[in-house]
Structure 1
Amino acid sequence: MKKLFIALALLLGSITCFAQADYKVIFDITSKTPEAQQTLLRQMNGILQGTPDAQLEVAIYGDALDMVLKDKSTVAPALGELINNHKNVSFKVCGATMKRNNKNASELLPGVQVVPDAIYEIITKQREGWGYIKVAH
């Protein structure tokens, strides 16, 4: 009986530790299509509904740059809502992409951060144990 109790305690402890594991995901988006960008936002909102403390980051580069530019974004309100209402959500745009497109940080939506290289950002997060999702539609 004592062994059964110990086994049960270990099993419950393992389940509790697993359930409390950090939920960290980095999204990779390069598409300028509104459908892909809306898919990204829908996926993020779905995760946050089920796991409000999930850490979510979006690496934006290539053709997706317009998504975070003040004068071109078609998803600015939804993106702003995520940034303003979830301290654990971040949008990071590739500095190299911005340079190639002659853009600077003042042209970005509020709360969007610049990283030197989006691919390096993705690789770094994966090394830290983050999950990876390539957004496509």
Structure 2
Amino acid sequence: MKHIFLMATALFLTAVSAFSQKVPYNVVFDITNNEPAIQQRMIVLIKEIISADPDAKVEVVFYGNSIAVVDKNKSAVMDDISKLSENKQVQFRACAVAMKKHNVDQSQLVSGVQTVPDGIYEIVKKQAAGYGYIKIVQ
């Protein structure tokens, strides 16, 4: 009986320890259009996350029509993206396939935005690495 009690106590303490460990706050945002309201929502969400958790990691992947958001000639949030990209917690990625389709080259990207070969694959990789997936909509 004493052994059963000790085993139950050990299992309980192990379970409590496992649940008390901090879950990483890692998020990958999916943006596929360039509506101003969605651009603003993206900026607000990023700021809220990095304020809430100093260890959070945020990656925003732009593909499809959202390439305009990271085109410095068209972006309504260029200054916000440039400033946020200076934070080691935040990364902005532009899909090379979408850039080619929309005739945008590397020199046109907002400062701090990096390219990835395929935006959808980048999202899949982040999900496989444990990132939470969020599609930004209005």
Q: TM-score, normalised by structure 2?
A: 0.87
Residue 13 (str. 1) matches residue 14 (str. 2): no
Partner of 1:111: 112
Deviation at 1:5, TM superposition (A): 6.8
- The AA in structure 2 aligned to 1:76 is M
Q: Which residue in the other structure is 2:79 paired with?
A: 77
Corresponding residue for residue 39 of structure 2: 37
Count matched residues.
134
* Unaligned 5+ runs, structure 1: none
Indicate yes or no: 2:55 matched with 1:24. Answer: no
Equivalent position amino acid for 2:62 in 1: I
Q: Can you list the C-alpha shifts for 1:63-101, whole angstroms capped at 9, x where unaligned?
A: 1111111111110111112111x2021000010011011
Structure 1 length as normaliser, TM-score? Answer: 0.87
CA distance in 1 between counterparts of 2:29 and 2:89 reads: 14
Kindly tell me: are residues 120 and 7 of structure 1, through their superposed partners in 2, closer, same or farther at Cα, counting changes over 3 Å? Answer: closer
Please tell me whether the aligned partners of residues 31 and 136 of structure 1 are also in contact (alpha carbons under 8 angstroms): no
Task: Give 5+ residue unaligned stretches, structure 2.
Answer: none
The Cα shift of 1:10 comes to: 3.3
Question: How many Å separate the matches in 2 of 1:5 and 1:119?
Answer: 46
Query: Aligned residue for 2:51?
Result: 49
Whole-angstrom CA distance in 2 between matches of 1:6 and 1:61? 49
Question: Partner residue of 2:70?
Answer: 68
- 1:91 maps to 92
Q: 1:9 and 1:121 mapped to 2: Cα distance?
A: 38
Which of 1 and 2 has greater Rg?
Answer: 2
| RMSD value, Cα | 1.9
2:70 counterpart of 1:101: no
Question: Where has structure 1 moved over 6 Å in runs of 4 or more?
Answer: none
